[in-house]
Amino acid sequence: MGLTEDELPDTFDESTFHRYLLNFIVADDQVSCPFHFCLRSVYTHSRCVSKSINVVECHEFQVLLLLLRSSLKETMIPHHTKLHELIVEAWKHYFQVLKANLAVLFP
């Protein structure tokens, strides 16, 4: 799998790092959910655990990130609660764009 230059940012900062980490979390959506809890969790959101979002809590993953980018500070690595907030924000933004696009197509 090769990367194109369009996929790589020109600069590195905390916001860009969070955006790319968020893209990874959403694309790698590994959810661990026992079958008998799945239907109930749709309503309570309490039993399903996203493995991808929790990867940021793994010490080895944090060390790997720090190794790969010397300018990255440990404080720049968000915890899963911050990632959850970022996912919700991104979804709200995407939903607004989708609504606007649909309004144009179906006035």
What is the pLDDT tens value at each position of the chain, 107 positions in all? 566 767 777 788 999 899 888 888 888 775 555 444 444 444 444 445 567 888 889 999 999 999 999 899 999 999 999 988 998 999 999 999 999 999 988 87
Predicted TM-score of the model (pTM)? 0.67
* Unique residue bearing structure tokens 């924000």: 89
The amino acid occupying position 15 is S
**Residue from 29, 30, 47, 26 nearest 38 by CA:** 47
For residues 53 and 31, give the distance between their C-alpha atoms in angstroms, rounded to a whole number.
9
Q: Is 66 helix (H, G, I), strand (E, B) or coil?
A: helix
For residues 52 and 28, give the distance between their C-alpha atoms in angstroms, rounded to a whole number.
6
Pairing verdict, β 31-32 and 49-50: antiparallel
What are the residue ranges spanned by the domains of the chain? 13-105
